[in-house]
Structure formats: C-alpha cells, structure tokens
Structure 1
Amino acid sequence: MAGPREPIFLGRETYRRRRLIDAMRLLPVAGALLFLLPLLGGGATPRSTALGGIYLFVAWFGLILAAALFVRALSRAPDGVGSDPLEPEAGPVSEADESRDGPGPEGR
C-alpha cells in the first residue's frame, strides 16, 4: 500500500485566477436564470410589459458589467488574461519541428 500523498498546492495567485475563471464560466448560467425568472413568476398578477423589458435590459447590463469586472480582475494578474498558469507554454515552432511532424494540413 502506498504512503500518504502530499497535498497538491497551488499558489495563491494561481488559485485566485482559477476561481475567477470558474466564476466567469457561471455567468451564462446566471444570465439564463435571470432571463427566465419573469416566466417563473406565473400569471397570478398582471404585469406591465414595459417593466418586464426594463428588467431584461437591467439584467443584461448587469451581466455585461460583471463580465467586465471579472476581465479587469484577471488582467491585473502578472501573466495577463490569456495565459493559463497550469498549462505548458507553447513556444515558437521552428521549421525543423514542422518537418519532423510530417506534412501540414495543406499537404494532406
């Protein structure tokens, strides 16, 4: 039987970035729930169409604002928005690497 494994440790910044990315992935789900919320209210009381339209635009604007805030928080990270700290970096591809891999998509 193997001994106890060491816990996997992520740096504080890496952990924070991953959680921000996870929160950004939940924004479409939150948006769907916000947009469907008026339908769940039922028809017990009559509602104004104008108020429903205002609600949808406010929810839409709130989602845009939340996405902008998440991107701003991610851009403050040392590596920027586009890099994932847990994936290996892809360096520039040289001609020697391309010839070793075989023909490219245009040669097939």
Structure 2
Amino acid sequence: MAPRGSPLFLERGSYRQRRVMDAARLVVFLGVGLWMIPLLWPTGGAAEEAVPMSRALLYVFGIWSLLILASVYLAYRMRWLPKTPEDAEAP
C-alpha cells in the first residue's frame, strides 16, 4: 500500500517517458524475434519448396530498415518528452 503522502498515480509526463523508454528496450527483442523467423522457413526437400535467397535477403533488410525507423521514432519521442515535472510546466 502506498504511503499517505505519495500520489496514487504517476504524472502524465513521467508515465509517457517511462513507456517510451520501455518500448525502446523492447525494440531489441522484437528485432531478434523477427530475425529468427527465417530459421523456420523450409530449406528444400522432395515435398517442400525452398524460399529463394533473394526473398530471404529482402526480408532481413526490410526488418533491419523497420527497426531503424522504429528506433529513430522512439528517440525522437524521448527527445521531446519533459525530463522533470518543472519542464512540463514551462510554456
């Protein structure tokens, strides 16, 4: 239970800042998971059709590009978030 003097909820600025930082941490795990998907693709055989190398390379570099864009967006969001409650009140 929270002490009587502390607020029940977080302030909006600090809450958003923490969620953006959490999202930035999760981008790494998202990237690893998406890069592991080609390991599940069929490699060939009598009954299966193998995925062409050109398609696999397009997938890997496409995921790489999306991860870069996600990182840039999250860095932009972290840059403009207020760092302290005093910054949030300034016009």
Task: Give the TM-score range, shorter chain.
Answer: 0.7 to 0.9
- Residue of structure 2 in register with 1:76 after alignment: 80
TM-score (norm 2): 0.74
Return 5+ residue gaps in structure 1 as ranges: 80-84, 86-108
Q: 1:62-101, aligned counterparts within 5 Å?
A: 62-79=66-83
Superposition misfits of 4+ residues, deviation over 2 angstroms? 4-9, 41-45
- Residue of structure 1 in register with 2:35 after alignment: 35
> Counterpart amino acid of 2:73?
L
- After TM superposition, give the deviation of residue 78 of structure 1 in Å: 2.5
> Counterpart amino acid of 1:65?
L
Cα distance in structure 2, aligned partners of 1:47 and 1:41:
7
Return 5+ residue gaps in structure 2 as ranges: 85-91
Cα distance in structure 1, aligned partners of 2:39 and 2:22:
27
Match 1:48 to one of 44, 47, 52:
52
- After TM superposition, give the deviation of residue 69 of structure 1 in Å: 0.2
- Residue of structure 2 in register with 1:25 after alignment: 25
Identity of aligned residues (%): 32
Q: Which has the higher contact order (CA 8 A, sep 6+)?
A: 2
Cα distance in structure 1, aligned partners of 2:23 and 2:8:
22
Cα distance in structure 2, aligned partners of 1:69 and 1:14:
18
CA RMSD of aligned residues (A): 1.8
Cα distance in structure 2, aligned partners of 1:37 and 1:8:
42
> Counterpart amino acid of 1:36?
M
CA deviation string 1:6-53 (max 9, x = no partner): 564210010011011001101111011111111123444211101100
> Counterpart amino acid of 1:24?
A
* Larger Cα-atom Rg: 1
